[in-house]
A = this chain, B = another copy of it.
Amino acid sequence: MDAESKPYHHGNLRTALITASLELIRAGGPAGLTLREVARRAGVSHTAPYRHFRDKDDLLAAIAEDGFLRLAAEIRRASALGEDPPMRLRLAGIAYVAFGFDHPAEFDVMFSVVPDRALYPAAKAAADEAFRSLLALTEELKRGGGLTGHAPDVAARIAWAHVHGLAVLAIHRQLAFQNRQDLLDFAGQSTLALLAGLAK
């Protein structure tokens, strides 16, 4: 085929659809996402997406899954740079907030758009993996003596809620930060305070 003619098959539609979806959500929020517009951007007919996703929610679940996998990777990457357990947990928390700030569209989809995660096992599994990355760090903290009075899984949920709230509020501009660095500095302070409290 020459450069002008389009092949009947796209070749990489599924990925292209996810990419286009993220663009749309970034531009107009979750409400700005339209299967037909997604198809248009991928240069494909308005029902082509149904060959790759059962319905709109299924597409959102795929985006969420992808997001969780990348979040988990990001947490592990960042925490590995820390020199002791408290520092590793803090770096993980800051990475979480940074991920939310850097990928607000994915983040929104990951936590609020998908209706019932139980219906989307792949997305659920990815979310669980992200949580386990955090849990591993509180378990390590416990062993290192930096955690008294709380079980590691309790501490993991506390820490998760903490950074999650920060990320959500920052994304929706409730916290009036000027820039990314201000937010991350704030996350650093905030997680430090929480760690002090968890240590006793």
Contacts and interface: CB of A to CB of B under 8 A. Distances in A.
Interface in A140-171: 149-150, 154, 157-158, 160-166, 168-169
Contacts of A169: 157, 160-161, 164
B115 A189 contact: no
A152 to B, nearest CB: 14
A184 interface: no
A194 interface: yes
A166 B165 contact: yes
A196 B117 CA distance: 35
* Copy total for this chain: 2
A133 to B, nearest CB: 15
A111 B194 contact: no
Nearest to A131: B174
A181 interface: no
A3 interface: no
Interface residues of A, number: 37
Contacts of A193: 149-150, 158, 194, 197-198
A186 B130 CA distance: 21
B198 A111 contact: no
A165 B175 contact: no
Contacts of A29: 115
Contacts of A165: 160-166, 168
Contact of A194 (B154, B172, B197): B197
Contact of A157 (B115, B163, B186): B186
Contacts of A198: 193, 197
Given A165-B162, A166-B165, A172-B111, A200 B190 contact: no
